[in-house]
Amino acid sequence: MNLRKLLSKDNIFLDLKSNTKEEIIEEIIDRLVASGKIKDRNAALKAILERERKMSTGMENGIALPHGKNNSVDKLITAIAVKKEGVDFDSIDKKPAKIFVLTLSPLNRTGPHIQFLAETSKLLRDSETREKVLSAKTPKEIIRLFNE
């Protein structure tokens, strides 16, 4: 999967303001709606929150991978977002999440969604990569990091 094609300055947010899991998801969705990447805000939000209710997507090492499937998008869309202070995301290791990788894909497509989550997880397993994400000042730095 070519991460370069999925990432742009329109879907990398290094300055999240929200302070709860639901607010973080909502803020990311709202920014994707504003950039024209999501057609139906409420449907997209519902899909991600329903998935989150089934099982938290808070992983380990400060990473959360909220995702869902809904026809508010025509193809896989993603966002990478950062909240340096961290937010309780019901993570596996009980630590706050600081790096959020949100994905939304159409109901009829499974491959790209799973492949993107797997590749992103693999990249973010490395503590040095996580530190670079957290210290990035511009979306361009994130794009370069995910395409090395």
Q: Which of 21, 31, 51, 67 is catalytic?
A: 67
Please give the backbone phi and psi of residue 68, each rounded to the nearest 5 degrees, phi first.
-170, 175
Residue 114: pLDDT over 80: no
Per the structure, the count of domains in the chain is 1
Q: Could you give the CA distance from residue 125 to residue 31 in angstroms, rounded to a whole number?
A: 26
The one-letter amino acid code at 100 reads F
Cβ–Cβ under 8 Å, residues 62 and 96: yes
pTM for the model? 0.93
Least confident of 3-7, 55-59, 124-128: 3-7
Query: Which CATH number characterizes residue 139's domain?
Result: 3.40.930.10
5-29 per-position pLDDT tens digit: 788 999 999 999 999 999 999 999 9
Closest CA to 139 of 20, 13, 21, 22: 13
Residue 113: active-site member? no
Q: Where in the sequence is the domain holding 113, given as residue range(s)?
A: 3-146
